[in-house]
Structure 1
Amino acid sequence: MLAPLRLFVLLWSLAVMAPTAHASTIGVVLPGSSLVFYQTLLKGIQQSALDHRVDLLIRNPSDGESLNTPNIQLRIIEYMVTQGVSGVVLAPEPLAGDTRVSVPVPLILVDRYSADYDGISTVYTDNFSAGRKAALSLVPVLKKGAKVAMLRLAPNVSSTVARESGFLSVARKEGWDVVIDTYVGYRPRDAEVLIAEVIKSYPGRLDAVFAPAEPIAYGALRVIETAAIGQRPRLVLFDWRPEFLDGLKKGIVHAAILQDPYRMGYLALASMVEALQGHPPPRTLFVDVVTVTPQNMNDPAIRSLLAKYTR
């Protein structure tokens, strides 16, 4: 729970920054704004809002603050409701407490499912299947007993937990030895330091590393590219940053599993408009992932997807 003074300052700041919403305004709350994934998600939301002729009231906490200060997203949503938004699109972070929250306006979840909120629809990736796809990219090149590192994000983020579980389901079936299985966090620079520590402390040679989210992928790439060419493990990463292209070209990145956050954002906002017009959207809308490798990175469809991530 936010301290009363801090909550007052937050809501006062929000009130200063935004005018009162009108009937065609939809609120948007993401976990942050610095990751390329969320920037691309927001671009999709904004284009959809433009196409559907609705206004947006966008307010995000600082990156990571949702995890460090539980329920801050909920406070922002409460503020938006007082400003008169007709619905809210939310990429949810975990709430403190066990009570499921009902927001008094339609709520659509995007990027991940959350049992904390009573949303009318969720637009996201089938993350368990996507984690399996990440591991399956390694099946042709890893033998039974291969030494693999699992670099985890956080235990309470449902999307990455599902990816990690999907990857491990294939690893166990294939008989790989997961010799590193640890949390490295969600801040890119901090994650990079921890990744360097855990990889360099492993006494043997790693065959593969799985990085299930953008901040971990960034740190893992920077660490692995400093190793001697013959000692580099195969890196399978999730999400995308323009910097990852060079890793693919050099063969440091074995495969990148790409979501389509632009499409997710576009569909989430479009679904909200439909709901407000009396057409309830499906409870679940899955957006497919794509496996990008050095072999297919120049395919037109792949280049089109990568272009959506351009800042």
Structure 2
Amino acid sequence: MRRAFSLLVVAIAALAGAVQAAPATRIGVVLAGSGLNFWAAMSQGMHRAAEDFHVELVMRSPSDGMSLGAQPNIQLRMIDYLVKNGVAGIVLAPEPLQDVATPISVAVPTVLVDRASTDYKAISIVSTDNYAAGRTAAMSLVPVLHKGARIAVLRLAPTISSTTQREEGFLAVASEMGWRVVIAPYVGYQFRETEARVHKVLSGDVGRLDAIFAPNETTAYGALRVVEEMPAGTRPRLVVFDWRPEFLAALEHSVVYADIMQDPYRMGYQSVETLIAALQGHPPRATIFIDVVTVTRANMNEPAIRAAIANYNR
């Protein structure tokens, strides 16, 4: 009897070990880049969600801008790799596809993050309400600009839906307020090239611009570098998007007038959480918006703002 009991204990222990050793659900992630602070913070949110929900992340993201330049459609190859390696679902920050029949139907459930896309069939989109955020950026300037104010909008690229929506939201308010948009070029998505293009397009208007809007991290960084070189009395009010450590000092010294800051950490967390819930049979909402906050010199030290900034530095 004692021997039978011992064998039963051994069998239960072996079974428990087998359960513990069962492979975790694998979630694939393909972002649109890896170098920007935005993508780094989003990745941190995804990894925290993976820990909380006991899944394994398999990430395959291109270098920033690679999909738009040297290697178009590289995300498709990454998605194919992930599917062939058995992921249960994919979180995707989609770059535009070229010369491919769309919409693409991925073989596993797919959640889009950061931006919408008609190139893919997806069960949900987790992002900023980018059009509304562009309006928020413009509204920050309403108290300090007059009708006829001269404005520059440093556009990113025509194929990126998220920044295009921000630009359009900003431009809608500019039209409503009677501001004159005198500069609105596409300045690109690589730091050095963008800064050079920003310098070129702004060089003829030093002292004559009232405000500048930069709708993402790369355009914001380029604009900051150019504006901080201007004599203090000639600087336009600079409204930027996203967050970099340099923006803190720029806000303190009034080189940046306002920063419309997304929460990529929460966006990343929510996208993984949404996909896991769907895999468990809970249909997600088609669109999930993550709020932005407006950071200014006046509020930058408030606890809620500092907490939002900390999401970029976990």
Q: TM-score, normalised by structure 1?
A: 0.91
Cα deviation for residue 203 of structure 1 reads: 6.7
Distance 2:78 2:253 in 1: 43
Conserved? CA contact 1:132–1:167, under 8 Å: yes
Partner amino acid for 1:44? Answer: G
- Give the corresponding residue for 1:278: 281
**Aligned: 1:293 with 2:292:** no
Query: Superposition pairs for residues 158-307 of structure 1, below 5 Å?
Result: 158-202=161-205, 205-307=208-310
Distance 1:98 1:161 in 2: 23
Query: Superposition pairs for residues 57-206 of structure 1, below 5 Å?
Result: 57-68=58-69, 69-96=71-98, 97-202=100-205, 205-206=208-209
Distance 1:119 1:71 in 2: 17
Do the aligned partners of residues 234 and 67 (structure 1) sit closer, same or farther apart at CA in structure 2, a change above 3 Å counting?
same
Distance 1:98 1:287 in 2: 31
Distance 1:306 1:279 in 2: 32
| 1:57-116 deviations in Å (ceiling 9; x for gaps) | 111112111111221101100111000000000011011134200001010000001111
**Aligned: 1:26 with 2:1:** no
DSSP 3-state at the match of 1:253: coil
Distance 2:89 2:283 in 1: 13
Distance 2:207 2:234 in 1: 10
Distance 1:226 1:159 in 2: 29
Moved over 4 A (4+): none
DSSP 3-state at the match of 2:291: coil
Stretches of structure 2 that go unaligned for 5 or more consecutive residues are: 1-22
Distance 2:290 2:101 in 1: 29
Conserved? CA contact 2:24–2:54, under 8 Å: no
Distance 2:300 2:206 in 1: 34
Distance 2:130 2:235 in 1: 27
Partner amino acid for 1:70? Answer: P
Distance 1:306 1:277 in 2: 33
Do the aligned partners of residues 203 and 273 (structure 1) sit closer, same or farther apart at CA in structure 2, a change above 3 Å counting?
closer
Distance 1:241 1:168 in 2: 24
Conserved? CA contact 2:206–2:230, under 8 Å: no
Cα deviation for residue 205 of structure 1 reads: 0.8
The alignment of Structure 1 onto Structure 2 pairs a total of residues equal to 290
Do the aligned partners of residues 203 and 238 (structure 1) sit closer, same or farther apart at CA in structure 2, a change above 3 Å counting?
closer
Partner amino acid for 1:92? Answer: P
| 1:134-168 deviations in Å (ceiling 9; x for gaps) | 00000000000101001000000000000000000
DSSP 3-state at the match of 1:170: helix
Distance 1:274 1:152 in 2: 36
Distance 1:98 1:167 in 2: 32
Conserved? CA contact 2:153–2:212, under 8 Å: yes
Distance 1:23 1:50 in 2: 11
Conserved? CA contact 1:121–1:282, under 8 Å: yes
DSSP 3-state at the match of 2:185: strand
Conserved? CA contact 1:23–1:84, under 8 Å: no
Distance 1:147 1:188 in 2: 25
Conserved? CA contact 2:88–2:109, under 8 Å: yes
DSSP 3-state at the match of 1:167: helix
DSSP 3-state at the match of 1:235: strand
Conserved? CA contact 2:211–2:236, under 8 Å: yes
Partner amino acid for 1:57? Answer: V
DSSP 3-state at the match of 1:117: coil
Partner amino acid for 1:60? Answer: S
| 1:152-191 deviations in Å (ceiling 9; x for gaps) | 0000000000000000000011111111010100011111
Identity, % of aligned pairs?
58
Cα deviation for residue 204 of structure 1 reads: 5.7
Query: Superposition pairs for residues 31-42 of structure 1, below 5 Å?
Result: 31-42=32-43
Conserved? CA contact 2:24–2:55, under 8 Å: no
Distance 2:102 2:291 in 1: 31
DSSP 3-state at the match of 1:32: coil
| 1:18-70 deviations in Å (ceiling 9; x for gaps) | xxxx6600000011111000000000000000000000111111211111122
Distance 1:104 1:308 in 2: 33
Distance 1:286 1:267 in 2: 10
Conserved? CA contact 1:242–1:309, under 8 Å: no
DSSP 3-state at the match of 2:27: strand
